[in-house]
């Protein structure tokens, strides 16, 4: 009975509110991290400028590098801003991922599932392995 109710809840999901919610949460998180990093930088140095040229990394290595920095030197303003940028870059990726899941499980539109999977595959290659 509970399983049926859950399946009905999934079938009643609308794609627009789902995508909109993903985008909004991603933006709030990204902006929060960037503003926190800038505010910290300003308090520490009296300037907003973050000096950090990102050398030859894909998004995956960018994220790994920042997490490594946090584990070695702890959190600092540059890392917070970087994490905000990474969050922003991952929002469209998560949006496409949600679209694949929606077309497959809710709408059961196999053509669209295939099309969005193609986009997801290409983006995965470019962001994480390119």
Partner 1 sequence: MWFGLLVLASVAAGLIGAVSGMGGGVILIPVLTIAGVDIKQAIGISLISVVALSCGTAVNYVRGHLANLKVSAFLEVFAVIGALAGASITVVVSRRPLFLLCGFILLASWVILWKDWDRAWQSVRSPEEGSRRLILEGSYYDHVERRTVHYRGRRPLIGGALMVVAGLISGLLGIGASAFTVLIHDAVLGLPPKVSAATSNLIIGVMALAGASLYLEAGLIDSKLLAPVILGVLLGALLGSRLLTHLTNRVVLRILFSILPVLGVEMFIHGLWSR
Pairwise CA distance, residues 59 & 71, whole Å: 18
Identified binder of partner 1 from the candidate list 29, 70, 75, 85, rule CB under 8 A: 85
For residue 78, what are the contacts with CB-CB under 8 A and spacing of at least 6?
A: 37, 41, 50, 51, 52, 69
Q: Interface with partner 1 includes 43 (CB under 8 A)?
A: no
Sole residue written with tokens 């196999």: 110
| CB atoms near residue 107 (< 10 Å) | 13
Q: Interface with partner 1 includes 12 (CB under 8 A)?
A: no
* Residues found near partner 1 in the complex (CB under 8 A): 15-17, 19-20, 23-24, 26-27, 30-31, 34-35, 37-38, 48-59, 62, 78, 81-82, 84-85, 88-89, 91-93, 95-96, 99, 103, 111-112, 115-116, 118-119, 122-123, 125-127, 130
């Amino acid at each position: 009975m509970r399983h049926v109710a859950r399946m009905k809840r999934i079938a009643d999901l609308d794609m627009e509110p789902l995508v909109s919610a993903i985008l909004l949460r991603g933006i709030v998180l990204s902006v929060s991290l960037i503003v926190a990093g800038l505010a910290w930088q300003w308090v520490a140095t009296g300037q907003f400028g973050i000096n950090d040229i990102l050398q030859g990394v894909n998004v995956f290595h960018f994220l790994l590098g920042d997490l490594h920095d946090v584990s070695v030197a702890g959190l600092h303003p540059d890392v917070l801003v970087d994490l905000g940028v990474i969050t922003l870059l991952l929002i469209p990726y998560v949006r496409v991922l949600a679209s694949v899941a929606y077309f497959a499980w809710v709408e059961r539109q196999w053509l669209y599932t295939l099309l969005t999977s193609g986009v997801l595959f290409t983006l995965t290659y470019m962001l994480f392995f390119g």
